[in-house]
Structure 1
Amino acid sequence: MNLLNKTKINNSSDFIPKKRMKLHLSKQKTYKETQEIIHRLQIQSFRRPANLVINMIQPLLWLLLFGALFQNAPIYLFEQYRIQYREFLNPGIIIFTGFNSAINAGLPLIFDREFGFLNRILISPISNKNSLIYSSIIHTWLIATTQIIIIMLVTIYQNNNNINFNINQLITNVIISTIIISNIATISICNALILPGHIEFIALTTLLINLPTLFASTALAPLSFMPTWLQIICCINPLTYAIEIIRNYSLNKSISMNTEIINTTWLTININQGLLILILINITSVIIVKNIIKYKYD
């Protein structure tokens, strides 16, 4: 009996590989999967061009209507810049454009849930399910960045070419907008995976997040115009820091990390601290959302 047991052990050990083969294909597969999902999202966007047009028209309407409505607003009474309200409004419209595109980043995902395509993707031999998140964020970033560049060109034309097209300003706008887009798009994807359907998603993003977040920032008015309670809410809103960084650069044509962007009686923040706050909020939201998605779908 002992001999039989030893032979069984020896025979079974022969099937155990002596060395484990490590295939370095996970990163390449993740890149390929992300690329294919982005291509699929692009096809969906081209088949529904009305969404792209509407997302483009909305911030332009804000720019034209608010710029015309408050063109004689005395910004110089409370701020050190002698500028027109349209120039004050432009940085807020740029950030709001990225925010508006990012807040709808989870909409294709929630439609995939309702039509059953998400289940097919999840049961497919996909190596990294995070490619769903990566592809949605990159696709949203591409659309939002294109819209931001178009808005910058429109503002240059609107101001009768008084503002020169500065490549450094474009890079600054894209970098700051990228932080906001990745942050809001991650939260939008999380909402798309948690909420029951697209009706609840649209109601949440349109009614409870979109407009309140816009008005509770310095996109339309400076902090000095606001009461104390609204100033506190604006300083909690990450859009405020992004808007003020872009506004400071566009008005001064240069950027210094020690320049103050928030200056109230109870809070003072410079550009360096504002960037740090934006990056920390972005990292925190990505970690929380990834854990929520892992808990729900793994």
Structure 2
Amino acid sequence: MSNTVAPSKPDDRIPPTPLAVEAGNPIGEFIQETIALTRRLFIQLQRRPSTLIAGIVQPLMWLILFGALFQNVPAGLFGESQNYAQFLGAGVIVFTAFAGALNAGLPVMFDREFGFLNRLLVAPLASRFSIVVASAIFIVTLSFVQTVVIIAAGVFAGAGLPGIGGLAAICLILFLLVIGVTGLSLGLAFALPGHIELLAVIFVTNLPLLFASTALAPLSFMPQWLQVVASLNPLSYAIEPIRYLYLHGDWSLGSVVMEAPFGSITFAGALLVLLGFASVALLSIQPLLRRRFA
């Protein structure tokens, strides 16, 4: 369930932005640089739309095929879910966002190999961290586009639709997860020698994290050791709150969303875990980025 970006020679010309910035204004210059670099990524996507199309079609295939495979299971087998499509929907949403964020380092890696990143690093940028922020904005936007399509498809598959507050909570959950995974992927892009090694890490990471989470089956289906592993997997802390939003319109921050082997996890607890994961991921890559940017 990964959307691998095919290597293509990047356009060395960064599109100009209409934002006028006064000389000596570092914040304005940083915003201008970030906008320009983000526009460059979207121009590359416009020239290579198959990346976005594949990122939408693949999770839809998972939702349709897996939903059909388990549509005749006895009622109540997957907890409170009315059907397997409703149970699976949260897992597909989270894992699609995770797979896209895990691939965030590939454009940066290709820029490294084509030499464009070196040109950026020697350019008089206000802050080289605009490269990282632009990649994060690009990945978060793509993740939200994919999520909208999956949620809409889930309605037709019988998964239902959370309320306005539930949809806002889903956006917050995905934002925290995507920011953390994007940070780790960008760190790998600067730490690993080439895109072959980065692709190997992506392929080795994808499926184990999928099966060691609650995306495809509830914790009660798993052996004890796998329950412990799934309870330590950050993906489970994004999947279970979203699944709870689909099933309960009267959710609150104190609602228990997961019964882990070591205790009950509330909605607020899951958000704190995701916030901690994103914070640790971003803080851990900063020393590496500073060394590379220097």
TM-score normalised according to structure 1 size: 0.87
- Which amino acid is 2:82 matched to? I
Aligned residues: 272
Name the SS of the counterpart of 1:34 in structure 2.
helix
Question: Structure 1 stretch 169-178 or stretch 243-252: which is displaced more?
Answer: 169-178
Asked if structure 1 preserves the Cα contact closer than 8 Å seen for 2:128 and 2:293, the reply is no
Asked if structure 1 preserves the Cα contact closer than 8 Å seen for 2:78 and 2:87, the reply is no
Q: 1:120 to 1:264 in 2, by over 3 A?
A: closer
Quick one: distance in 1 between partners of 2:58 and 2:292?
34
Match of 2:174 in 1: 177
**Counterpart check, 1:99 vs 2:95:** no
- Return 5+ residue gaps in structure 1 as ranges: 1-22
Asked if structure 2 preserves the Cα contact closer than 8 Å seen for 1:111 and 1:198, the reply is yes
Instruction: Work out which of the residue numbers 225, 230, 236 in structure 1 matches 2:232.
Output: 236
- Runs of 4+ in structure 1 over 4 Å off: none
Quick one: distance in 2 between partners of 1:51 and 1:269?
36
Name the SS of the counterpart of 1:76 in structure 2.
coil
Quick one: distance in 1 between partners of 2:62 and 2:114?
34
Quick one: distance in 2 between partners of 1:210 and 1:258?
31
1:25-174 matches, within 5 Å, as 25-74=25-74, 76-77=76-77, 79=79, 81=80, 83-159=82-158, 163-164=160-161, 166-174=163-171
- Which amino acid is 1:28 matched to? G
Q: 1:29 to 1:266 in 2, by over 3 A?
A: same
Quick one: distance in 2 between partners of 1:118 and 1:55?
26
Return the structure number with greater relative CO, CA threshold 8 A, min gap 6.
Answer: 2
- Which amino acid is 1:261 matched to? V
Quick one: distance in 2 between partners of 1:127 and 1:252?
47
**Counterpart check, 1:186 vs 2:183:** yes
Quick one: distance in 1 between partners of 2:222 and 2:242?
20
Name the SS of the counterpart of 1:268 in structure 2.
strand
Instruction: Work out which of the residue numbers 228, 247, 254 in structure 2 matches 1:251.
Output: 247
Match of 2:196 in 1: 199
- Which amino acid is 2:219 matched to? L
- Which amino acid is 1:194 matched to? A
Quick one: distance in 2 between partners of 1:39 and 1:266?
45
Report how far residue 168 of structure 1 moved.
2.4
Quick one: distance in 2 between partners of 1:38 and 1:265?
42
| Structure showing greater Rg | 1
Asked if structure 2 preserves the Cα contact closer than 8 Å seen for 1:71 and 1:85, the reply is yes
Asked if structure 2 preserves the Cα contact closer than 8 Å seen for 1:63 and 1:89, the reply is yes
Report how far residue 167 of structure 1 moved.
2.5
Q: 1:231 to 1:55 in 2, by over 3 A?
A: same
Q: CA-atom RMSD, angstroms?
A: 1.6
Report how far residue 254 of structure 1 moved.
2.7
**Counterpart check, 1:294 vs 2:284:** no
Quick one: distance in 2 between partners of 1:78 and 1:62?
17
- Return 5+ residue gaps in structure 2 as ranges: 1-22
User: 1:111-150 deviations in whole A, cap 9, x for unaligned?
Assistant: 0000000000000000101111100000001111011001
Asked if structure 2 preserves the Cα contact closer than 8 Å seen for 1:106 and 1:192, the reply is yes
Q: 1:170 to 1:143 in 2, by over 3 A?
A: same
User: 1:231-256 deviations in whole A, cap 9, x for unaligned?
Assistant: 11111111101111111111011321
Q: 1:165 to 1:254 in 2, by over 3 A?
A: closer
Question: Structure 1 stretch 210-219 or stretch 150-159: which is displaced more?
Answer: 150-159
Name the SS of the counterpart of 2:216 in structure 1.
coil
Match of 2:276 in 1: 280
Question: Structure 1 stretch 246-255 or stretch 261-270: which is displaced more?
Answer: 261-270
Quick one: distance in 2 between partners of 1:262 and 1:127?
45
Name the SS of the counterpart of 2:238 in structure 1.
helix
Report how far residue 58 of structure 1 moved.
1.4
Asked if structure 2 preserves the Cα contact closer than 8 Å seen for 1:156 and 1:165, the reply is no
- Which amino acid is 1:32 matched to? Q
Over the matched positions of the two proteins, sequence identity in percent amounts to 38
Instruction: Work out which of the residue numbers 205, 208, 213 in structure 2 matches 1:212.
Output: 208
